[in-house]
Amino acid sequence: MKNSDNSENVQTMDMVGSLGIESIRGIGDDELKKILAENVLTVSDMQKINPLFLYEKVKIPVCKLIEYRDKAATMLNLRLDREIVDILSKKDFSIQESLEMDPKKIEKIAGRESVKKTVFLKNLSKLSTCLNDQARESCKIDIFRGGAESQDPEEQWAGGAGLEDKKKRFEILLSNNKVAQLVERMLEGWIVELTPRWQLETELGYVYPEAEEIVDKNNKVVEAKLRELYEAGVLDRHFFDKVFRCPFCGFPSVLLRYSCTRCGSRNIRQEDMIQHYKCGHVDLARRFKTGDKLICPQCAAELESLGKDYLKPGVMFECQNCGDISGSVHKKMFCYTCNNLIEKDKEVLEDVWVYKISNENRTLLLEVLKPRQRIREILQDKGYSLDSTRIINGKLQGASRTLHYFDVYAEKADNTMLIEVVSDENQVEIGSMYELLAKAVDAEVDEAVLFAFPKASQAVRDFALHYNVSVIEAADLYQAVQNFEQVIKVSGERHLKV
């Protein structure tokens, strides 16, 4: 039974994936021609694009390409309840006809399972934002059937509850706006992978530069946060390397020390051995040297060619303290941070990872971050462009040529705006305002906006009033979006004072 369900799910995904990209809402005729010319033909093709690479060829703003890719991903991952779809399919309903159907009729189909009705309507609403008018009229409802809805009702809604739990975990993790900014940069393709770089003077021994620049300068804090994001399903990871750690202090400052097996002195010398084929004599290489020649100390014959007259069977260790010559030495690990000797096999061996966005949860992450996207949409509706030549690899270039991380930068002919989103457990303090103003001044923007969660300190409010910075205080991003819609109405009238 399960195999049958799985094969039907694959078939459903194939049907959706084979839809032409002209069905995706928002793609204009000129954009369509450019994208098709790059052999991006179907919804499945669109879901796989790298927006940055495609931009170089089609010159369509990256933010639009990201929007189209995300809509394709939503369509491919969306499943509609099989029982409801089966009944609507018998009536040969299109997506549009299903959208126009009286919710009370859907409730009758779902029976007492009001949750089932709610989820169906919610998913149908998501679908309507991804398909254009023509596609909604022509696409039949049954191509979106399948998924978790193929399970027994109890299993199905347990799975739904699991999805909601995952979404709540994501919302909690991404309520940290610096973490949310990092995840957004990765979703948008500005940061493809977080690859560690060795930096042995740090406690971890390696750093994640891109993540530290956004999230925190402390590499232990960043590593813990990345691990937490991986465990929650936000990030995937793959093996990079291993690092040795001292079991006493935890630092990776571990050295291998050799000492004489006879007297324990560390003053030992490693030297090649030579074996003379003719007489069989084996000795230290230096004892064969006579000027520029190699002369066997036993038979006095000259050695002319390695491999013909002689060979080098290995190395020996000569103690400069007691003169002992041996083929082995005592090996001990030593930590140069805490000066402790580490017993054999007692050092800590730890995996180091490369992190990237989880493809499995990409659509859910986009849904959780949707309020941020709504801020961008509001700006676009007001005629702002989010795609600027000043944005280089996801950073905003200032007049000083410094590259700044930012949340949102928008511009139009008569106005430019820089937006920063900051959260704190109690209130946002003045340091965040200083950072915003420094970026705004260097970027020479007309307006600066600070989103403060859950609220701003009085010092921030006073500073904002003096420099004419807009401060939006809100308990969450949803409330902030509502407040921002009021601020944007007077966009262009609140110029930054510096």
pLDDT in tens, 240-286: 998 888 888 878 877 778 888 888 788 888 888 888 988 888 888 88
Closest CA to 481 of 345, 326, 373: 373
Closest CA to 79 of 163, 135, 167, 183: 163
pLDDT in tens, 150-173: 333 333 333 344 666 787 788 888
Strand duo 391-392 + 289-290: pairing:
unpaired
Please, which residues have CB within 8 angstroms of residue 415's CB and are 6 or more apart in sequence?
Answer: 384, 446, 447, 491, 492
- List the beta bridge partners of residue 450: 420, 471
Closest CA to 145 of 89, 80, 72: 80
For residue 442, pLDDT beyond 60: yes
For residue 310, pLDDT beyond 70: yes
For residue 217, pLDDT beyond 80: yes
For residue 204, give the DSSP letter. Answer: S
Q: What is the mean pLDDT of residues 1-6?
A: 40
In a domain, 21, yes or no: yes
Q: How far apart are CA 33 and CA 468, in angstroms?
A: 45
For residue 142, the SS3 value is: helix
Q: How far apart are CA 382 and CA 373, in angstroms?
A: 14
Indicate whether 389 and 480 sit together in one domain.
Answer: yes
Query: Rounded to the nearest 5°, which phi and psi values hold at 279?
Result: -105, -10
Indicate whether 48 and 125 sit together in one domain.
Answer: yes
Q: How far apart are CA 463 and CA 160, in angstroms?
A: 46
Indicate whether 109 and 32 sit together in one domain.
Answer: yes
- How many structural domains compose the chain? 3
> Can you read off the two tokens belonging to residue 71?
């809509």
| Segment among 146-150, 412-416, 419-423 with least mean pLDDT | 146-150
Residue 316 in contact with residue 284, Cβ under 8 Å?
A: yes
Q: How far apart are CA 5 and CA 11, in angstroms?
A: 10
- Give residue 449's pLDDT band: very low, low, confident or very high (50, 70, 90): very high
Q: How far apart are CA 163 and CA 224, in angstroms?
A: 24
Last residue of a domain, one of 168, 194, 222: 168
pLDDT in tens, 86-102: 787 777 888 888 887 77
**Residue the block writes with tokens 């905003």:** 396
In a domain, 210, yes or no: no
Q: How many CB atoms lie within 10 A of CB 291?
A: 6
For residue 227, pLDDT beyond 60: yes
Indicate whether 14 and 75 sit together in one domain.
Answer: yes
For residue 116, the SS3 value is: helix
In a domain, 129, yes or no: yes
In a domain, 191, yes or no: no
**Residue the block writes with tokens 């920063």:** 420
**Residue the block writes with tokens 């083929």:** 327
Q: In the predicted model, what is the mean pLDDT of the chain? A: 81
Higher pLDDT, 97 or 208: 208
State the DSSP string of 343-386: -TT-SEEEEEEEEEE-STTHHHHHHHTHHHHHHHHHHHHTT-BS
Give the range of the structural domain holding residue 404, as residue numbers without chain letter.
369-488
In a domain, 202, yes or no: no
Indicate whether 147 and 78 sit together in one domain.
Answer: yes
In a domain, 496, yes or no: no
For residue 212, pLDDT beyond 90: yes
State the pLDDT at residue 464: 93
Q: How far apart are CA 489 and CA 77, in angstroms?
A: 36
State the pLDDT at residue 158: 35
State the pLDDT at residue 354: 95
State the pLDDT at residue 156: 36
Q: In angstroms, what CA-CA distances link 311 with 146, 172, 274, 303?
A: 71, 67, 6, 10
**Residue the block writes with tokens 């400052």:** 253
Q: How far apart are CA 215 and CA 130, in angstroms?
A: 32
Indicate whether 396 and 302 sit together in one domain.
Answer: no
Indicate whether 318 and 374 sit together in one domain.
Answer: no
Q: How far apart are CA 64 and CA 413, in angstroms?
A: 20
pLDDT in tens, 184-194: 888 877 888 99
Indicate whether 286 and 376 sit together in one domain.
Answer: no
Indicate whether 161 and 32 sit together in one domain.
Answer: yes
Q: What is the CATH number of the domain that holds 395?
A: 3.40.1350.10
Q: Tell me the residue type at 212.
A: E
State the pLDDT at residue 344: 67
For residue 61, pLDDT beyond 60: yes
Last residue of a domain, one of 168, 190, 216: 168
**Residue the block writes with tokens 């109690």:** 426
Q: Which segments of 111-203 does DSSP mark as H helices, in order?
A: 114-130, 133-138, 153-173, 177-187
Indicate whether 9 and 152 sit together in one domain.
Answer: yes
In a domain, 420, yes or no: yes
pLDDT in tens, 105-156: 766 665 545 556 667 777 777 788 888 888 888 888 877 765 433 333 333 3
Last residue of a domain, one of 128, 153, 168: 168
Q: How many CB atoms lie within 10 A of CB 418?
A: 27
Indicate whether 312 and 434 sit together in one domain.
Answer: no
For residue 65, pLDDT beyond 80: yes
| Segment among 22-31, 158-167, 466-475 with least mean pLDDT | 158-167
Closest CA to 346 of 336, 329, 334, 330: 334
State the pLDDT at residue 12: 47
Q: What is the mean pLDDT of residues 326-344?
A: 78
Q: What is the mean pLDDT of residues 394-399?
A: 88
In a domain, 113, yes or no: yes
pTM exceeds 0.85: no
Indicate whether 12 and 154 sit together in one domain.
Answer: yes
State the DSSP string of 231-292: HHTSEEEEEEEEEEE-TTT--S-EEEEEE-TTT--S-EEEEEEEEETTT--EEEGGGGEETT
